[in-house]
Amino acid sequence: MKLAIIFGAKSFEHEISIVSAITMKKVINQPLTYIFIDQHREFYEIPNDKLKSNLFSSGEYKKCDKLELKQNGFYKKTILSYKKLEFDIALNLVHGADGEDGILASLFEFFNIPFIGPRTEASVVSCNKYLTKLYAIGACVKTIDYHYFNKSDTITIDKYPVIIKPVRLGSSIGVSIVKSEDELEYALDVAFEFDDQIIIEPFIDGIKEYNLAGAKIDGQFHFSIIEEPNKNNFLDFQTKYLDFNRTSQVVEANISDCLKDKLKQNFINIYNNIFEGSLIRCDFFVLDDEVYLNEINPIPGSMANYLFEDFNNILIKLSSSLPKSKMIKIDYSYVNQIQSAKGKA
């Protein structure tokens, strides 16, 4: 099986996607092809031996072969025609906009390209923190209380501390912990720099957090170990950026079997059917023995490889259990009936 790693794109998380893509060379034991999307949404084939971070920061990637997206794949332009780039499955590794908001998923589905990653509807509910809350409630998964605001709203806080998050960003970009009214205006400016919608939640000091990744393969769930992130308050952008190249498996959280089962059941409720074809990571809070969803990572950093005992095997199995598009036969019978009724052949 040959995987095409799709990364980059027009996103605030563009550079994190590059880090994740480079990490895949260390953890996937399959032939890899790399397809980079630059900030102008142009596609380039990146040779494996040139895959280094400074290739992109320097602009040298523009010397690589340019690609065009067409039906059934990516193509290089030749002197007389086009040559199809050979790979079996695409792996959507674009974090943030373009990758996690459904744009690439829609393109892949439209152009009939098999891929690992969230489908369009899964992307919609997971890339928007407000919609994630609504979806979780419908899936019988609890969430921390929150308030949703637009940029034009008057925002007042009744009780501090709170955490302010842009609605459509990940990797802790634009996120602030606000401990008093004196810090509020600056935190709002930071959040609204990245998005015109935010959510505000109470910041609960000492709340437990656990991360669990997994996928549904042939109708059965395959889970990673459960991680308890080692952090003081929350992981800021810089910490997460450096953390996205993790390849060594982390230590499993020391928790009861009962809590493990609760976390897995909540994961199952979230994954449901709409995340089929993707490997996701759910970040949960636990407070007073109750499980709350923090967020869904539909394309986790470095694909959460560090949570699995055999990440490569999970990816291979998932690639053979992708949802298939329903075939629709177009025979123009309705149009022909209308024409016949009008006496026209």
Please compute the mean of the pLDDT values over residues 51-61 and round it to a whole number: 95
d(CA 321, CA 312): 15
Question: Mean pLDDT throughout 267-280?
Answer: 97
Q: Tokens 């976390």, residue?
A: 263
Mean model confidence pLDDT for the chain: 91
DSSP state of 305: G
Size of the chain, expressed as the number of residues it contains:
345
pLDDT at 244 exceeding the cut of 60? no
Confidence band, pLDDT 50/70/90 cuts, at residue 230: confident
Is the pLDDT at 245 greater than 70, yes or no?
no
Q: What is the DSSP letter of 164?
A: E
Q: What is the predicted pLDDT for the residue at 231?
A: 62
pLDDT at 174: 84
CB 117 within 8 A of CB 278: yes
How high is the pLDDT of residue 224? 97
pLDDT at position 12: 87
DSSP helix/strand/coil, 4: strand
278-320 pLDDT tens trace: 999 999 999 999 999 999 999 999 999 999 999 999 999 999 9
HEC sequence for 111-144: CCCCEECCCHHHHHHHHCHHHHHHHHHHCCCEEC
Interstrand relation of 82-84 and 89-92 (parallel, antiparallel or unpaired)? unpaired
H helices present in the chain, as ranges:
14-27, 53-57, 103-110, 120-127, 129-138, 184-194, 237-243, 257-271, 311-319, 333-341
Of the candidate ranges 62-66, 74-78, 84-88, 325-329, the one whose mean pLDDT is the lowest: 325-329
Q: Residue 243's pLDDT band (boundaries 50, 70, 90)? A: low
Sorted by where each starts, the structural domains of the chain and their CATH numbers stand as: 3-116 (3.40.50.20), 125-142+205-319 (3.30.470.20), 147-202 (3.30.1490.20)
Confidence band of 233 (pLDDT split at 50, 70, 90): very low
